[in-house]
Amino acid sequence: MAARQKLIGALAFLALAVVAPFAPAWLVSLATIAFANGLVVLGLVILWRAGLVPFGQALFYATGAYTIALLGRYTGMRDVFVMVAAGAAAAGLVAFVTGFLLARYRDIFFAMLSLAMSMILYGVLVKTETLGSTDGFHVATGTFLGYAPQGTAHDLALYWLVLAVCALAALAVATYFDSVAGVLAAPVRDNEIRVEFLGISVNRLIHLKLVIAGLLAGVGGALAALVVEHVDPNMAYWTTSGGFVFVTILAGAGSVAAAFVGSLAFELARSIAVAVFPGEWQIALGTALLLTILFLPEGLGSLVTRLRRPRVLDKVASPKTAPEKPGAA
Amino acid sequence: MLTAFAILTDGLVYAAYLFLVAVGLTLIFGVMKILNVTHGSFYAFGAYGAATAVGIYVERGLPDAAGFLFMILVAMAIGLVLGVILERGILRFAYGKDEVVIVLVTYAVFLMLEDVIALIWGRESHAAYPPMVAAGSIEIGDLVLSNYDIGLVAIAAVVAGLGYWALKYTRYGRLLTVVIFDRETAAAFGINVTVVYTVTFIIGAMLGALGGAVMAPKISVTLGIGVEVIVLAFAVVVTGGLGSIEGALIGSLIVGLCRAAAVHLVPQIELFVIYAVMALVLVFRPYGLFTQAQPRKI
């Protein structure tokens, strides 16, 4: 079963890579940014499985982006592989350090503390003149192991790079989900004290999840910066984090694929909505989010899983306690 | 010495502003356990409503005091209507879900309301400064203080006092305290929790709109003011302890004074000092200054 899913995933990525040269340029660049952001969403899916919603994932996103922007500005390093690795390392380091604190918190306090941390970075970036203040600055164009394409060829190369990174990340995260640490996410979400009683440190488990999610967000931010060729403090603002959470909820935490499909669908929907009704696109987004939460609490991905699994089994597999209703008495 | 005095006054004025936006947020959280992102929209609606009201009274040439009162009344009315629509129309369907999921529900509504504001008032910015100008200013030594700012501190003090009195000495306030303490027991004793929820949400919404209204003359009323204010209010409320009115008061004083000190002494750190204070408080008091630790449930 798992092997079959991986095969389907690999074929999907291959198909996406093959069709790119024939697709319109705007669609390729949209897909590139969507998949780069999909990496961040993948990280959020890992945390969401354990019941954690960070409203400050933009901290790692912006760290990754600014790292490669600074590399391009102050060093001669132009190779995308080295730059993205550096962005990931920087974000991972920040996640590791902040993780000591963040891993102790749950629920709203986790969300708020991560929000505060990303706003600290935002405040620093806005006030630092050498980093371009609110305007941000330009990101140098990358080269691929000495290959330095221009124009359309560059966009395509970048698209393939993002796809390759996504495929690797998807595989790694799918493996992680099957590991003991990955499977423990649901018990942590349901009742973490019981997990503690099994002799497992929940804090360390969550710390690991934070670092993985931070790494992914760093890679996503680094790739996004390469695509947009510009960084600015808004990458660290809370609305950026909110956008990622939005896609996560919309896509659901059911599978790895949901993160990428959700991110692509979101970018497409947003571009279309902005083009069709520029003044009201946030109303459309808000309505979509609201309807998803109220009627599809497991996300759009659950539509697929529901088809595959008979409903009876579904209920046995995940017994739900009756939802409390305040004021019912 | 002058700097110290300036920090103190600026800090107090800023704290008053923070308290006015934070108190509604903390009230709603305390009673309903909803961290209400929509509070930013209440603030923005209040500010826009106030700008419109100021426009009307300047046009009619009404006396200043009446104009100020009119401005506040319009904002509170908007808060009332919005509160009813949101609580009865949307939020009550989300009750019983995870706290974090309800945050997302309010976030969705917040996104929608951002566009609704643009649809009603347009994308250009509005000015509402006449009350601020009419209030004039006084000089204390070398320091020039706007009377409007002093009024702001007074309004915040009145709201704090009224809130304290209402919670401690009125029938509704006592009922509210009971619901905050234990919702189910309260319901079992015959308190109509549904009504308490609705009323609380409306009061919170009106307080948010009031915050926007009194701030409108001091700022340029433009799109996105709700986005900024909501993170500020979060920081204050989390610093003080979610759901605690004293917490909101102390939190806004701490944050206000720290920011004023940063503005006068090291302007580079002005923006992030607020969040740094919040993070620092959370390191030592994980649930804020004024919240008691909850027992873990197995």
| pLDDT per residue as tens digits for the range A251-282 | 887 778 888 888 888 888 888 888 887 777 78
Mean model confidence pLDDT for chain A: 82
Q: In the prediction, which pLDDT does A235 show?
A: 87
pTM: 0.85
Using pLDDT thresholds of 50, 70 and 90, give the confidence band for residue B296.
low
* CB pairs < 8 Å spanning A and B: 155
The predicted-structure confidence for A146-166, as pLDDT tens digits, reads as follows 777 777 777 888 888 888 888
Residue A224 lies in a domain: yes
**Least CB–CB distance from A120: residue in B99, B272, B286:** B272
Q: Do B116 and A283 touch (CB under 8 A)?
A: yes
Residue A63 lies in a domain: yes
Share of chain B above pLDDT 70, in %: 96
DSSP class of residue A20 equals: G
Q: What residues make up the domain containing A226? A: 3-240
Q: What is the ipTM of this complex?
A: 0.79
Report if residue A264 sits inside a domain: no
Task: Considering only residues A158 and B66, tell me which one the structure prediction assigns the higher pLDDT.
Answer: A158
Could you report the per-residue pLDDT of A36-81, keeping only the tens digit for each? 999 999 999 999 888 888 888 999 999 999 998 888 888 877 788 8
Average pLDDT over chain B, rounded to an integer: 84
> Nearest C-alpha of chain A: how many angstroms from B151?
30
Taking CB atoms and an 8 Å cutoff, what residues of chain B touch A282?
A: 111-112, 114-115
Residues 70-99 of B with CB under 8 A from A: 90, 93-99
A212 in a structural domain: yes
A129 lies in a domain? yes
Predicted local confidence at residue A318, as pLDDT: 47
In a domain, A296, yes or no: no
Q: Is residue A322 part of a domain?
A: no
Q: Which of A108, A279, A326 sits opposite B115 (nearest CB)?
A: A279
Q: Does B187 touch chain A (CB under 8 A)?
A: yes
Tell me, what's the pLDDT at A327?
Answer: 44
User: How confident is the model over B59-77, as a mean pLDDT?
Assistant: 80
Nearest to A293 among B101, B234, B278 (CB): B101
User: How many independent structural domains does chain A possess?
Assistant: 1
Strand ranges (DSSP E) for chain A? 137-138, 230-231
Kindly state whether B114 is in contact with chain A, defined as any CB-CB distance less than 8 angstroms.
yes
